[in-house]
Structures are given as structure tokens and as C-alpha cells.
Amino acid sequence: MCGVVGIVSSTRCVQNIFEGLQRLEYRGYDSAGIATLFEGKIHIAKSEGKLKNLEPLLSKLPQNSGIGMGHTRWATHGAPTTLNAHPHVTDEIALIHNGIIENYRELKETLIREGVKFLSETDSEVVLHLLAKELSKGTAMLDALKGVVKQLHGAYGLGVMWKGDPNSLYIVKQGSPVVIGLGKTENYFASDALALLPLTQKIIFLNDGEIGKITASDVQVWDFSGKLLKRDPSILNWSASSADKAGFRHYMLKEIHEQPAVIANTISRLVNFGSSEINIGELGLNELDLQSVRNIIYVACGTAHYSAMIAKYCVEQMTGIPVSVELASEFRYRDPYLNQNTLVIAVTQSGETADTLACIKHAVSKGCQTYSVCNVRFSSIPRACQATLYMEAGPEVGVASTKAFTSMVLCHYLFGMAFAQEIAKGKSGNSDNNLNATDKKVASRVNFAANFEALKVLPSLVDRAINSSGLIEDVAVKYYESLNCLFLGRGPSFMVALEGALKLKEISYIHAEGYAGGELKHGPIALVDKHMPIVAIAPLDLHYEKMISNIEEVRAREGVIIGVGDINDSKLKSLSVDFIPCPQSQDSCLQTILSVVPMQFLSYFIAVKRGTDVDQPRNLAKSVTVE
Ligand code: F6R
């Protein structure tokens, strides 16, 4: 989605704005622009396509300017042309916008009737002209912005530069993320903190309904009624180097390789092997009333949704509490039955996904308890929830999620264990007041000792999964020209099939679908012929024999099996045209963390062979801040 960056500096700003935009590239965009203010004049450079098209135009901007704003646009209203690229300007004002103005048509028609000429097809330009109209009455900028926001419906993170106040930038937040960064001799704003990481780690996360003003030496924040607010910065714990490629060809490859360390860190942070306990404080469970929880609903999108589907298997089994999983974009528009005994859990890497955030707001309004599993500290979703389990996976820049998925699955597993642990202690419980009886019930469901053993060896198994990647490259070379691909799995491996198919289509643009093995005969088997590669995920779990039957069904129709399973599984090997070995966990939910690694590599190598843009695949955005 669109990215915004603004800087007010006592020295030069153009290069830093450009570099800030480069750090926002991962969000996905199709045009870009920068505006600066120098000696009473607004200067702009804009281009279609990627930042490499904008770079040569930067020399046309006044290099000594200390104030400016940049934008990467992910087209929503109007094609990705230079004319539609931001900043939008009048003689007096430059404006950048992330989000969607839902009532822009009505506003535009009124403005046109009043004689305003529009240069672009965007919804954003409406805001520019509304602001120009307010300012033309002699109104101060803060009051003008207060007047404009009253007229807007939708989501917006706005940056505004104005000749009338040449040493300040104004920022408005409603629905779309905007942060303010505090420097020593300069201040910044951006759509996320990652853009500012090398410049500062002191960040003020604006809330919806707030207006900010930055100069080189000062920051002020008001609410939409004009009340001045006291906002202290948070200090980010991400280092600047965590946002670079560290010698890898792509961010995605780097992030795949980071998984053993992320998994190991999460386990050491959340698990106390000495006392065989999960650190429930770190999980934020002390902030919930677990005692009253009678059902759990996960809401999420995309990869995060698949991770939550794995939570359904492990959390429900461990806690004995019914778990359902919903797509955030569906949940928010139906009228789900919710009450104060429902715990709604948002799963989100970015913490900014608009649909997931809307679900949480709805759940809060219905009196539910709310919790999130999230990677980005201080982002909007954790701030809207009662408690959060932070993944601490470090920035994920590749658009296709990798380490966030495995980290989410681990977090769900540990959440389930922690909840079960609390039930066993009698601190929560869905049904039983009798401690001993509850204790027994949990003990019959959860083999804590086995779970701790499985967790202990997990990081080294993930490491092994990563070290078999050479073989996968050979498989990719064989299949990279395929037009279609199916992925099959059963039990928790069904979600590995879904995630494998999503990864492949996202970055290689090959049509791919994931199915539960048992569903094959109910339709998809019609697609199987000798041209159809079928990735069969068949770990040695209780679904193994059934998967083998599904594989036989495919073979009987000449389908091409790429088996993924235990290195010593001679049966699977003999049934596969190609075989990818994968380490095995004793736990079928933790197995998904291992089995998904070959899926990540397979899609990565196929995409590289096809020459697609691995880190920023076409049409996709990392942080989906519009509906
Ligand atoms: C796919 C992918 C997306 C995200 C989805 C939700 O690789 O990354 O499907 O999982 O857009 O994003 P978050 O987790 O930020 O809410």
C-alpha cells in the first residue's frame, strides 16, 4: 500500500526522503514522487513505476532544501501514471495520502461545480482542494485540517506541506498508519517506523483522530477537536541493519534463513524448560480473564489466516475450548454471535491490516476480550487489543511472508500450552470448578512433557530443513515452466498445502491451489493429468496412510507427485517422481513449521528461475491498510 515519508531538517532532506521511500518499497507501489519547499516555491519530481525511474529526476529538486515529503503510490483510484502519482500540489500546498477517501465522488462533484479543476483521477486530490478552499478563507492550517477531516469518510494518513508555514509539515491520521520520528536536529514522519530506522528509533505512533505538526526542532500533536495532546515517544528495539539484505540476493531468502534464530529466540523468551512452564506474563495472558473464556475466534487474512487455521488444531485440542477461524474481511461484514465470553484473537504480522483491525474494533464494541499475535510493536492492532503476544521476528520486508508464518504458528502453539497450563492450575477453565478434575482433564488432553521435548529440538530441525535447500533448487528447475500446481496435505499439513500454494502463486504467478487430501475426490481430481505437478506433504503423522492413499489416486491418473516427507520414508520416495526430504517433529502442529520451509524454497527458486520480482511481486502490497 502507499508509503509516505516527510522530513523537516536544518540541513538537506532530499536524499534522506528518497532513501526512506526505498525502505518503504516493500509495501508495494507502482509510482512515486517527492516534493520540497525552497525559497517560497514548491518543487516536485514524480514518475511512474519503480524508484529507479524517480532517481534521475531528483537532481531537478533544489538540493539545499531542508523540508520535503515523498510518496510511493499503490494505485486504487486511477491508473499508476505520473499524473496520478503523489504529491498532489497547488501553488500553495503539497499533499500526500495513504488510504482511501470513500466519499470522494460527492466531494469532487461539489468542488467541480465550484469551479475547481482536477488534474488527476485520484481520490486524494479531493483533499488537496478542500484544504486549499479552507486556507483561502485565511484559516490557520490546524483549523483548516480540522475543517477538512469533518468532510472526509474513509481511511487516511496525510502529509501536508504549505508555503504559509514553510518550516513545518502537518500530518493527519485516521485509519491508515502514520508515525512521527524524533531526530536530533530534524524530525520525520512516515507510514511505518521501518522507513525511519537508520535515522531514529524514537517513534510517536499517532492514533486515529490525531493531527501532528513537525518542525526541525519541535513536534506537536492535537486531536481532531484541536486539543493539544502530550505524546511521549516509544523506543524501537529494531536495529537499522535488521532491515537490510545482509548479503542475501533477496529479502525473502534472508527471511527464510532467519527462521531457526527467530524460532529459537521465541522459545527461549516464552518457555522456561527448567520449571516446564510457559512464561504467561510474556504472552500477556495476565491481562485477560481466561476464566470467563468459553469460545475463541481467530480473525486474520492471507498467510496469517492459514497460521490461525493451525491454531484451531492445537489450541482447541490443548484447551478444550471451541476455536473457530474466520477471514477478517468476511467476519467484519457479517453479524457474528459474540459476547463477553468470546475471546477474539487477531493474527497479523504488520499489525495494520485494515480488515483485521476492523474485526477487533467490532469485537471490542460487543464486549469481547481481545488479544493479538503480532510482529510490529505499537502498531494499530495491538493498540486496539487488551493484550498482545509479540512475535519479535524482526522486520519482514519480503512481501511473501515466511518467517512471520512460522513464528505465528509457534506463538499459537505456545498460547495453547499456556492457556492449558492455566486451566490445569485452576486459574481459568471452561467448565470445571473442581481443580483435580480440571487437572485430570487437561492432563488427558495435553502431554506437556512431550510438547516441551518437541519444542527443545525444534530450532535445530528448522535449521536442518533450511540446509536441504540445494535439492529443492533442482526440483524447481524441473517444474518452473508449469502452468498449474496442486498442493495436498491432511490434518495440520493441509494448511502447509494452502500456504505452499499461496507462496507459489504470489511470487511466481503460477496458478496453484492447496487442498485437503480428503477433498481430492470431491472435485479437484478432475484436474489431474500427466501435466499436473502435485506437491504431496506427507509427514509421519496419524494422517500418513490416508495421504498415501490420496497419492495413489493421483498416480492412477498420471499426476506427477513431488513428495515431501521423512528422509527415510522409502514408501513415499517410491511413489514420488521427485522427493524433498524434510525433518520430522513428534508434534503434528510443530511439523507444519518444518514442512513449510521446503514450500518457501520451492516457490522462491521457481520465481527466481522465472525472473519475477521476488520481494515485490506484481499487484501485491505488504501492509494492506485499505479494505
Ligand atoms: C502472503 C502474505 C499476506 C499477509 C496478509 C495479512 O505471503 O504475506 O497474505 O499474510 O496480507 O497481513 P498481516 O499479517 O500483516 O495482517
* Residue 477 domain-assigned (yes or no): yes
What value does the mean pLDDT take over residues 561-578?
A: 97
Q: Are residues 456 and 472 located together in one domain of the fold?
A: no
Looking up cell 487430501 gives 517
Query: Are residues 93 and 156 located together in one domain of the fold?
Result: yes
- Choosing from 463, 479, 505, the residue where a domain stops is 463
Length of the chain: 627
Number of domains in the chain: 3
Residue 149 sits in a domain whose CATH number is 3.60.20.10
- Residue 353 CB less than 6 A away from ligand 1: yes
Residues 30 and 60 in one domain: yes
218 and 297 co-located in one domain: no
Atom 3, ligand 1: which residue's CA is nearest?
302
Q: What sign results for the dihedral spanned by CA atoms 242, 463, 281, 284?
A: positive
106 shares a domain with 161? yes
Do 504 and 556 share a domain, yes or no? yes
Q: Are residues 483 and 453 in the same domain?
A: no
Among the atoms of ligand 1, which is closest to the Cα of residue 303? 10
Contact yes or no for 54/46 (Cβ under 8 A)? yes
Mark which of 463, 481, 507 sits at the end of a domain: 463
- Nearest-atom index, ligand 1, CA of 300: 16
Across the beta sheet with 219-223, what order do the strands follow? 88-89, 93-101, 154-162, 169-174, 210-214, 219-223, 228-229
- Ligand 1 centre to CA of 623 (Å) is 7
133 in active site: no
Question: Does residue 307 line the site of ligand 1, with CB under 6 A?
Answer: no
Spatial distance between the Cα atoms of 412 and 307, rounded to a whole number of angstroms? 8
Kindly tell me the burial class for residue 458, based on how many C-beta atoms sit within 10 Å of its own C-beta (0-12, 13-18, 19 or more): buried
Q: How far is the CA of 411 from the centre of ligand 1 (A)?
A: 16
- Domain identity same for 271 and 220: no
Q: 302 in ligand 1 pocket by Cβ < 6 Å? A: yes
Query: Do both 446 and 472 map to the same domain?
Result: no
| Residue 571: inside a domain | yes
Cα gap 397→405, rounded to integer Å: 13
Domain boundary pick from 222, 242, 262? 242
What mean pLDDT comes out for the span 176-204? Answer: 92
621 within a domain of the structure (yes/no): no
pLDDT digits (tens, 9 = 90+) for 481-500: 999 999 999 999 999 999 99
Query: Which residue reads 510518496 in cell numbers?
Result: 71
Verify that 526 and 394 share a domain, yes or no: no
Ligand 1: which atom is nearest the Cα of residue 304? 10
Residue 346 dihedral angles phi and psi, to the nearest 5°: -90, 135
Please compute the mean of the pLDDT values over residues 104-131 and round it to a whole number.
94
Give SS3 for 375: coil
Task: For a ligand 1 pocket test, name from 326, 347, 353 the mutation site with the most ligand atoms within 8 angstroms of its C-beta.
Answer: 353
Give the model's confidence band at 426: pLDDT under 50 very low, under 70 low, under 90 confident, else very high.
confident
Residues 216 and 329 in one domain: no
Distance CA 199, CA 380 (A): 22
Q: What is the pLDDT of residue 536?
A: 98
Q: Considering only CA atoms, which residue is closest to atom 5 of ligand 1?
A: 302
Mean pLDDT, range 385-391, rounded to an integer: 97
Q: Which of 75-79, 288-292, 368-372, 506-510 has the lowest mean pLDDT?
A: 75-79
Who has greater pLDDT, 94 or 432? 94
- Please give the number of the atom of ligand 1 that sits closest to the Cα of 624: 11
Cell, residue 233: 515517544
Please indicate, yes or no, if residue 617 is contained in any of the structural domains. Answer: no
Per-residue confidence band for 319, with pLDDT thresholds at 50, 70 and 90: very high
Q: What is the pLDDT of residues 337-354, one digit of tens each?
A: 999 999 999 999 999 999
Q: Is 399 part of any domain?
A: yes
Is 622 catalytic? The answer is yes
Rounded to the nearest whole angstrom, what is the distance from the C-alpha of residue 1 to the centroid of ligand 1? 12
C-alpha cell at 387: 493484550
Model pLDDT for residues 31-74, shown as the tens digit of each residue? 999 999 999 999 999 999 999 999 999 999 999 999 999 999 98
- Whether 615 is covered by a domain: the verdict is no
Residue nearest to atom 9 of ligand 1 (CA): 302
Cell of 591: 511439523
The domain of 567 spans 468-610
pLDDT band at 537 (very low <50, low <70, confident <90, very high): very high
The amino acid at residue 44 is: I
Given a contact cutoff of 8 angstroms between Cβ atoms, the answer to whether 348 and 327 are in contact is: no
Residue 395 confidence (pLDDT) above 60: yes
Q: How far apart are CA 315 and CA 561, in angstroms?
A: 32
Residue 304 near ligand 1, beta carbon < 6 Å: yes
pLDDT value at 377 more than 90: no
| C-alpha cell recorded at residue 179 | 508515525
Residue 587 is predicted with a pLDDT of 96
Does residue 95 form part of some domain? yes
Ligand 1 pocket member 192 (CB < 6 A): no
All cell numbers assigned to 413 = 502453539
Sign of the alpha-carbon torsion through 225, 230, 234, 240: positive
Catalytic residue among 108, 213, 503, 622: 622
315 lines ligand 1 (CB under 6 A): no
Range of weakest confidence among 246-250, 306-310, 534-538, 550-554: 246-250
Please state the atom number of ligand 1 nearest to the C-alpha of residue 400.
7
The CATH number covering residue 506 comes to: 3.40.50.10490
Q: Whole-model pTM?
A: 0.81
Q: What angle do CA 391, 2, 154 make, to 5 degrees?
A: 95
What's the rounded mean pLDDT across residues 503-526? 95
Report CA(149)–ligand 1 centroid distance (Å): 29
Is 136 found in the same domain as 258? no
Predicted local confidence at residue 432, as pLDDT: 46
Q: Let me know if residue 622 belongs to a domain.
A: no
DSSP 210: E
Per-residue confidence (pLDDT) for residue 271, from 0 to 100: 96
Write out the three cell numbers for 69: 515529503
